[in-house]
Amino acid sequence: MLKQRLITALVLLAILMPLLFHDASEPFMGFSLLMVSAGAWEWGRLNGYAHRTSVAMGVLFAVILAVLWIVWGVHYSVWVWVFPSMLWILGGAWLLRNGVACWAQFPRLIRLGSGLLALAFAWMAMAQARTVGVNFLLSTFFLVWAADVFAYFGGRAFGKRKLAPTISPGKSWAGVYTGALGVLIMAGLWVWSDRQFNLDSPSLYSQLFTVNPITALLALFGLTAMSVVGDLVESLVKRSAGFKDSSNLLPGHGGVLDRVDALLPVLPLVMLLTQI
């Protein structure tokens, strides 16, 4: 299993890194659009739609986003990010408070639409972040990755008190705390590297710390918490649907949604915070 995960991760990095560092942003945006359309297909399946219907849904989703990209570009007002941010903060808290059973009580069209909107806004935020700069986008990705990695090892070492046992039994409060600590360590190192090297753009962390340290720390804690919320909400939906993984598109990792769930709330929030 570990070997399979490693091979898949290396293949994805071999594809992603050249696209991300390409002089033009379009190749990366095109690849990321393909990935979120696969996520839309997975979301359809998680909400009870047949395979063919879900495939058609993913294709239509990609076409709509591509048309919006061509017509409007990828530069959005700060107000665009208010709706998905509030939806994640308030809706995510409500879902996690009420547990797995509450998800099936919503009409299927509402469940479908909420997930597709989350994917669409995340892709829009990622596209705009890429136009800000590679360093800015990478620092956003690494916030989620650092929170996940530190939470995994911290949870294994110290995790006794469970975070949400009925939704994701493996997660603990110790994992949340160590994940936040890992993000703070990485943020400090990234701010230092911004000052030492001539990078293409300021990182997320440098932008936050230009305001004041207290605001930056609160923002980083909030973003780390929302990455956990994204992960838990997807786990809640999968548990409600009776799925272990969102799909098997990524051997050893599950599906696209299993890899990007924590990014879905973080990306719009990052754009909101840095544009305010």
Cα-flanking dihedrals φ and ψ of residue 21, to 5°?
-90, 5
pLDDT for the residue numbered 202: 94
Q: Could you tell me if 261 and 218 are in contact, meaning their C-beta atoms sit under 8 angstroms apart?
A: no
Terminus-to-terminus CA distance in the chain, angstroms?
Answer: 43
CA angle 197, 198, 204 (to 5 degrees): 85
Q: What is the pLDDT of residue 1?
A: 55
DSSP label of 162: E
Do residues 21 and 27 make contact, with C-beta atoms less than 8 angstroms apart?
Answer: no
Statement: the pTM of the whole predicted model exceeds 0.85: yes
CA–CA dist 213, 227 (Å, integer): 21
Task: Kindly give the confidence (pLDDT) of every residue in the chain, 276 residues in length, as a single tens digit, with 9 standing for 90 and above.
Answer: 556 777 877 888 888 889 989 888 899 999 999 999 999 999 999 999 999 999 999 999 999 999 999 998 888 999 999 999 999 999 999 999 999 999 999 999 999 999 999 999 999 999 999 999 999 999 999 999 999 999 988 988 888 899 999 999 889 999 999 999 999 999 999 999 999 998 999 999 999 998 889 999 999 999 999 999 999 999 999 999 999 999 888 877 789 999 999 999 999 999 999 998
Identify which of 44, 116, 132 has the alpha carbon closest to the alpha carbon of residue 84. Answer: 116
Helix (H, G, I), strand (E, B), or coil: what is residue 159? coil
At residue 75, the pLDDT reads 87
How far apart are the C-alpha atoms of 61 and 118, rounded to whole Å?
A: 12
Looking at residue 261, its pLDDT comes to 94
In this structure, the number of other CB atoms found within 10 A of the CB of residue 83 comes to 13
* φ and ψ at residue 167, rounded to 5 degrees: -105, -50
Q: What is the 3-state secondary structure (H, E, C) of 177-233?
A: HHHHHHHHHHHHHHHHHHHHCCCCCCCHHHHHHCCCHHHHHHHHHHHHHHHHHHHHH
Helix or strand holding residue 96 (H, E): helix 92-98
Do the Cβ atoms of 21 and 268 come closer than 8 Å? no
